[in-house]
Amino acid sequence: MLKQPDLVSLKKGDTVDHYLMIKKIEARNTKAGKAFLSLELGDKTANINANVWNDTSGFEPLSAMAKPGSIVKVSGAIDEFQGIPQIKLNAASLADETAGVTPRDFLSKSSRDPALMEKELLNRIDQITNSNLKTLLRNIFSGERLEKFKTAPAGKSWHHGYLHGLIEHTLEIVRICDLVCEFHKGLNKDLLISGALLHDFGKTEELTYDSAFDYSDKGKLIGHIVICASMIEEETKKIPEFPEELKNLVIHLVLSHQGKLEYAAPVVPKTAEAIALYQADELSAKVNAYNNALKSEIAGESNWTKFIHLAQTDLYRQNIPSEKEEDINKSLFD
């Protein structure tokens, strides 16, 4: 097992003697023409930038062979550039097999128990009363597809960007939608919950997550929304007399769940269930993203993060005492 201080615990001036995963790598040149590698390195707790200059030990092998997902051994110290932490490197080299480290050592994962989340998922599917929707969901959430769904992250980095993040995010949305249905009685609960369960299923094929999280060729060319819509189209053909309107309404929930055309939704929400799903997705994603940023992007003794481009603001960590936190692995549906 890898034993080294977490990146998130290091402060300016601390020594770095770590194995880290390359999350991003780009060959660049200074204005004076000096070659260097711009890296984003990470462990399970945080990512940090580092530059490998052409006179740094290890520059040539890294230039030739390093890629996202590669594991490197780095030495240096924590420094800052324009107020943003970075590693000032003395040396960097690709890790070899004798190091005894694997990509999974550097991939963060959900704090919730995957087995419990799988149980919650299957139990919620069993509660669907519409026989066509229940059959559709049982057919999709099975076998290898279920295994991928349980493991995949929900995103590359912004929200639920860790192993088992997709099922965690999905269950949060289901719980929010269940609550919404309690005081908006006109909503078709089976339809809304089915859309919540399926909305991001295409990410099982859009993302790769064996090493550094990235987009697959299929993900880049087609995207998770169309992947999922196509899957629903095909799966409903296998169910005798699956109603055309019901199929279209389920697909509409998937196509519209990102809410706006400028957010890459092919269509905007046009049903009450669709607008409820969009808002539930926003709530789960944004709160998770902000909480993760507050854990990993706070610098030094400050209560403020750096400017977060996806949030278009910096974020403040409040320190007001709250009630004792409940067990993270208590079922969301108890």
pLDDT reported for residue 88: 93
Contact 123, 173 (CB under 8 A): no
- Contacts with 205 (C-beta within 8 Å, 6 or more apart), sequence order: 148, 216, 218, 219, 224, 227
pLDDT reported for residue 1: 58
The helix-helix angle for 244-256 and 224-237 (nearest 10°) equals 170
| 173 token code pair | 């949305």
Write down the domain spans for the chain: 7-105, 107-292
Query: Regarding the domain delimited by 107-292, which CATH topology (the fold level of the hierarchy) does it fall under?
Result: Hypothetical protein af1432 (1.10.3210)
Encode the chain (334 residues) as per-residue pLDDT tens digits: 578 999 988 888 999 999 999 999 999 999 888 999 999 999 988 889 999 998 888 888 898 899 988 999 999 999 988 778 899 999 999 998 777 888 888 888 999 999 999 999 999 999 999 999 999 999 999 999 999 999 999 998 778 989 999 999 999 999 999 999 999 999 999 999 999 999 999 999 999 998 888 899 999 999 999 999 999 999 999 999 999 999 999 999 999 999 899 988 999 999 999 999 999 999 999 999 898 888 877 666 678 887 888 788 988 888 888 766 566 677 777 6
pLDDT reported for residue 9: 87
* 194: helix, strand or coil: helix
pLDDT reported for residue 328: 66
Q: Is the dihedral of CA 8, 13, 18, 24 positive or negative?
A: positive
Q: Which of 254, 299, 246, 285 is nearest to 135 (CA)?
A: 246
Angle value at C-alpha 99, between 97 and 100, nearest 5 degrees: 80
pLDDT reported for residue 196: 98
pLDDT reported for residue 295: 80
Burial of 334 (0-12, 13-18, 19+ CB in 10 A): exposed
Q: What is the DSSP string of 78-144?
A: EEEETTEEEEEEEEEEE--GGG---GGGG--B-SS-HHHHHHHHHHHHHT---HHHHHHHHHHSSHH
| CATH 2.40.50.140 given to domain 7-105 | yes
* 296: helix, strand or coil: helix
Residue 301 DSSP symbol: T
Q: How far apart are the first and last CA of the chain?
A: 35
pLDDT reported for residue 298: 64
| 78 token code pair | 């924590």
Pairing between strand 84-94 and 47-53? Answer: parallel
